[in-house]
Amino acid sequence: MIRALTTAGAVIGIVLGAAACASTPPASAPPPAQAGSPAASTSAPSAVQAVPQPETAEQAAASLGATGFTDCPASGSLAGVVDGGTARYHGYRIGIDTFAGTKQRDNWVSAAANLGVVPMFKGSNWVAYKAQSQHGAACS
Same domain, 74 and 109: yes
Same domain, 69 and 116: yes
> What is the number of structural domains in the chain?
2
Question: What does the pLDDT look like over 25-58, one tens digit per residue?
Answer: 455 555 555 555 555 555 666 788 776 677 899 9
Residue 136 lies in a domain: no
Whole-angstrom distance, CA of residue 28 vs CA of residue 21: 12
Using DSSP, state whether 68 is helix, strand or coil: strand
Question: What does the pLDDT look like over 60-83, one tens digit per residue?
Answer: 999 999 999 999 876 655 678 999
Question: What does the pLDDT look like over 84-139, one tens digit per residue?
Answer: 999 999 999 999 999 988 999 999 999 989 988 889 999 999 999 998 888 877 78
Residue 68 lies in a domain: yes
Among residues 109, 97, 90, the alpha carbon closest in space to that of 71 is found at 97
Whole-angstrom distance, CA of residue 134 vs CA of residue 23: 81
Predicted local confidence at residue 121, as pLDDT: 96
Residue 92 lies in domain: 57-130
